[in-house]
Amino acid sequence: MEQTMKSLRYFSMLLPLFTATVVHAAASIQSEPIQPIPKAVIKNPAMVELGKKLFFEPRLSKSGFISCNSCHNLSTGGSDNLSSSIGDHWQQGPIRSPTVLNSSMNVAQFWDGRAKSLQEQASGPIANPKEMASNHVLALDVLRSIPAYVNEFDKVFGHKQITMQEVTQAIAAFEETLVTPDSRFDLWLKGNKKALNTQELRGYQTFKTAGCVACHNGPAVGGNSFQKMGLVAPYHTSNPAQGRAGVTGKEADRMSFKVPSLRNVALRAPYFHDAGAPTLEAAVTTMGQLQLGRSFNKQEVADIVAFLHTLTGKQPQIVLPVLPASSNNTPRPTPFN
């Protein structure tokens, strides 16, 4: 009994110290412009599983060839690593595909922010003639013709009447799980001071002092604001995209794009909305000149690039779904040559 009391008194003496350490660590993280990415919390596993099938479902496209994963490849950082995505009949889109990884943290979806949510975004490519080239009526006819899908929608939503609202809700639920926590930089933020080497730390300090964190901040290291491409000097490009101006109709919004997340950026070359920078080194150099009015020297560029590599987190480990077979009533695809 006496020994127990001594142990309790010893613990009570240590508790304030332990609490102070935890509070200090939390305060230290919050004082940084970047915070660790939280792990995904799956609230409805059945809906997520359905959404995963739909994400990989090529029959939502007119050709039966293109799925969400075609342009947002989960094996290559959530994008397709092309200067512009390839759609129906090998058409090239006007802009490169943004990553789907950590996209739930974005202030809006698409480069110009025309979709307010992941669910709203999910409906667009299906009916876009340059992307999946189907339409919502045809896509729903396909799903309704497949008994296994009808039963799965019934299981998730409580009825067998499949609607586009439910299709996009399921896809969004799956996409919300595509987060990439526990990068080496996250580990450093959480107190593992051996997670980064000297050059990477130097790169982070330059990243902060140069002003990069004015736009690239928060858990996603960006994605939470819009910014004009070419603040200090004009950005010259042949790409026709006009950014937010295409949504708002305001001249002041011309060339204003959603600031991309820098999470997993090392996996996603080329860079910018028009793929104007083939490498991270080129992207850092251009951003310094056009956005900050600063010419980084070779060492600074190398240091910042080294830091950016530490932002690669644990990639979603996706088990590819086995999609249900079409029925005799399933509308046939229109393949392209």
pLDDT in tens, 306-334: 999 999 999 999 999 999 999 999 999 99
Q: What is the pTM of this model?
A: 0.89
CA–CA distance, 323 with 50 (Å, rounded to integer): 10
What's the confidence (pLDDT) of residue 270? 96
- Positions in the chain short of pLDDT 70: 1-30, 337
The alpha helices in the chain, defined as continuous H runs, are 2-31, 45-55, 68-71, 118-127, 136-144, 147-157, 164-175, 184-189, 198-209, 245-248, 280-292, 298-309
What's the confidence (pLDDT) of residue 335? 84
What's the confidence (pLDDT) of residue 325? 97
Q: Which residues are annotated as a binding site for heme c?
A: 68, 71-72, 212, 215-216, 287
3-state class of 22 per DSSP?
helix
What's the confidence (pLDDT) of residue 22? 40
Task: Indicate which residue of 2, 57, 131, 152 is catalytic.
Answer: 131
Question: Spelled out in words, what is the top-level CATH class assigned to the domain 184-311?
Answer: mainly alpha
pLDDT in tens, 30-56: 689 999 999 999 999 999 999 999 999
Identical fold for domains 45-177 and 184-311, yes or no, is: yes
Length of the chain (residues)? 337
What's the confidence (pLDDT) of residue 25? 43
Q: By CB neighbour count within 10 A (0-12 exposed, 13-18 middle, 19+ buried), where does 27 fall?
A: exposed
CA–CA distance, 12 with 224 (Å, rounded to integer): 43
Cα–Cα distances (Å) from 170 to 45, 136, 156, 164, in that order, read 10, 15, 9, 10
The reply to whether 131 belongs to the active site is: yes
For residue 78, list its beta bridge partners: none
What's the confidence (pLDDT) of residue 94? 86
CA–CA distance, 128 with 54 (Å, rounded to integer): 17
Provide the residue ranges of all domains of the chain, joining segments of one domain with +: 45-177, 184-311
Q: Which residues are annotated as a binding site?
A: 68, 71-72, 212, 215-216, 287
Q: What is the CATH number of domain 45-177?
A: 1.10.760.10
What's the confidence (pLDDT) of residue 275? 95
